[in-house]
Structure 1
Amino acid sequence: MSAGSMPKGFVYLYDVDPSIEQDMRYAGPNNFTRQPVPGYDAAECVLVREAAEALKAAQTDLKPMGLSLKVYDCYRPKQAVAAFVDWSKEPDNPNAKLEHYPDLHKSALFPEYIATRSGHSRGSTLDVTIVPLGSSPADTDDEDGIACTEAQPSDNSVDMGTGFDCFDPKANTDAPGLTPEQQRNRTLLVDVMSRHGFKNYPKEIWHYTFEPEPYPDTYFDFPIVPRPASGKS
């Protein structure tokens, strides 16, 4: 499928705001499955245009503070969701378990934390954090041997109390026991995103959906392919 075959209304985030950092975890091995996920043929954030434009507006709010948004996941093809379900039936990888779901069995992740029918597939949902403007991700992969509930950010994210895809109550937006810095960072993210039409999923501080959704009842399965060199999607 070519980039030009994306459904009407979908865009590459880079074409709307190239200043928003992208760390598309499911396009590579740095995720809870420890391998690239089917459907992610390029490390690109794809969204419906309304969500991309709203994200650009949120980025404009953060820049004067010396901060930037960073997205970990955006549109997610249905085939990727199916791959997550298949992964749940495989034996555990001890390091992946420790980092992403230290106190849960794989089977408990569905549907509590990983949906079998994901809102990401509708194109308006994304996973996002805040990073210092102009910073670079640390040259590291997952923090093997350290529980996600205890580790400091392994990338350039500000400290949110857990890393991305930490399937644990500590990742709940209003989780107790956070440090003042972690609470401030979470509050800032929620505030800036909500000002521009994004609703937070309360069990995951990084998870937001733009409302109203242009495709509230449609789950797409087109693969994410490289962005055309011309920048036109």
Structure 2
Amino acid sequence: MNRSSAARTLVVLASTALLAGLTSTVSAQADPEPKAPEDFVVLSDVDPTILHDIRYRTAYNFIGEPIDGYRQPLCILTEDAANALVEAQEIFLEQGYSLKVYDCYRPQRAVDQFVAWAQDLDDQRMKEDFYPRVDKSRLFADGYIAERSGHSRGSTVDLTLVELPAAEQRPYVPGEPLTDCAAPRDERFPDNSIDMGTGYDCFDTLSHTLDPRIQGEQRANRLLLRETLEAVGFVNYEHEWWHYTYQPEPYPDTYFDFPVHRRSVTP
């Protein structure tokens, strides 16, 4: 082989290697995101009257920033859970209320972010609002944070009630002064829901559904939510007035990690 042929051969080999490397990189970057099973739906497609306030898509949550995996402000649920909410919504609409969902299906990557945040004891930026009376070092022991969440199985929802017509609700401005989530309603961050005694995601025993300190209208509101949801198949988590799981769950032992995005439920 003469020198010119050898040089051309080296150029071809180098180009082939470069192309192979680029193809490998593009292939790695193009790995598809996990998808939801076929029986998961977007709640607004099933019932557009149910209100949404998807907190983990925003900076107004106990971490203070949008949460990993929440690509769109959607509520995704198993079809069974979504249909049960439709039944409950029909009952509430007749009484002048609407359901409002705060969180539905939650990707495992979001739960992992919660766990990492809970282990960082120096990050206390949202303490004054969401856990003013709880030492952050006790969030695991007290059950506020866990490595697995029923939300990731697709049939658990965090929700409340809004009196109709729904009042406007201003957005949270990062860095604004925080207020105790268990303060009187007029002092808490504005939420257009009816008064449940605490705000959503309030890490406090006052959030226990039947805490004896919650009486009067606040207790009646919690019971209205619980009794109606239980009648259509949901079970309340007793430590959080807003937390309900549809039973029987289609996926009781599976923790999904597809992102909250319409593409996740599109064939």
Question: TM-score, structure 1 length as denominator?
Answer: 0.92
SS in 1 for 2:157: strand
**Number of residue pairs the alignment of both structures matches:** 229
Q: Does 1:193 align with 2:205?
A: no
Give the CA deviation at 1:147.
Answer: 1.1
Aligned to 2:108: 78
Following superposition, the deviation at residue 109 of structure 1 comes to 1.5
Match of 2:247 among 211, 217, 228: 211
Q: Which residue of 2 aligns with 1:166?
A: 202
* 2:102 is aligned with 1:66: no
Provide the secondary structure at the position in 2 that maps to 1:68.
strand
Partner of 2:138: 108
- Aligned partner (choices 118, 123, 128) of residue 159 of structure 2: 128
CA contact 1:110–1:116 (8 Å) conserved in 2:
no
CA shift for structure 1 position 140? 4.2
Residues 1:98 and 1:89: Cα distance change in structure 2 (over 3 Å)? same
Aligned counterpart, 1:180: 216
Deviation at 1:114, TM superposition (A): 2.1
Unaligned runs of 5+ in 1: none
Computing the radius of gyration from Cα coordinates, the structure with the larger value is: 2
SS in 2 for 1:136: coil
TM-score, normalised relative to structure 2: 0.80
Identity %: 48
CA distance in 2, matches of 1:217, 1:136: 39
Distance across 2 between alignment mates of 1:144 and 1:11? 37
Match of 1:156 in 2: 192
- The answer for the alignment partner of 2:57 in structure 1 is 27
- The answer as to whether partners of 1:20 and 1:69 remain within 8 angstroms in 2 is yes
User: Is the contact between residue 12 and residue 227 of structure 1 (CA under 8 Å) also seen in structure 2?
Assistant: no
**TM superposition shift of 1:30:** 1.0
Q: CA deviation at 1:87?
A: 1.0
Name the aligned partner's letter for residue 41 of structure 1: R
The alpha-carbon distance between structure 1 residues 47 and 217, as it changes in their structure 2 partners (threshold 3 A), is same
**Structure 2, unpaired ranges of 5+:** 1-31
RMSD of aligned Cα (Å) = 2.0
